[in-house]
Amino acid sequence: MKVKFNWGTGVLIFLLLFLAAVITFVVFAFHQDVNMVHRDYYEKGVDHTSTMQKNQRSAAYASLINIETTTDSVVLVFPPEMRTAVEQGEVLFFRPSDHNKDLSFPLRKDGDQMNIDKSNLVPGRYIVKITWTSAGLEYEVDKTIIIE
């Protein structure tokens, strides 16, 4: 027996395939991991003016702070005037591709440099965010490095 295939059957098959594709896409989209820079993204945006002021204060230090990579460590070299001026601080290795691989270290003031062991760092691109407080003012310097 021959099955009759008219235009209504074709439209029904098309709609069913389209709905199956949409449902597949929605399920796939909900299973994707979203790596946001900050979980409190909108609150950070409201604080934009203070971030801009912090960046302007820090501009003088951006060229003075150097980051060198050796075979087994990352060396942060600070200018001598920072050693006495820093009250407290933090070094954040921010991995844009995966927030689970971000690492944070307290800023140590024991000399003009700080050594960080590379064994904890996965090879790839990092943004090193050095933040510190001096005389009640906040500073932040961002540098990009590639760990091999």
Domains of the chain by start residue, with CATH:
41-147 (2.60.40.10)
Structure confidence by residue, pLDDT tens digits, 21-47: 999 999 999 988 766 666 666 666 667
pTM for this predicted structure:
0.71
Measured CA to CA, the distance from residue 45 to residue 36 in angstroms comes to 14
Residue 55 confidence (pLDDT) above 80: yes
Structure confidence by residue, pLDDT tens digits, 6-16: 899 999 999 99
Structure confidence by residue, pLDDT tens digits, 99-113: 888 889 998 866 788
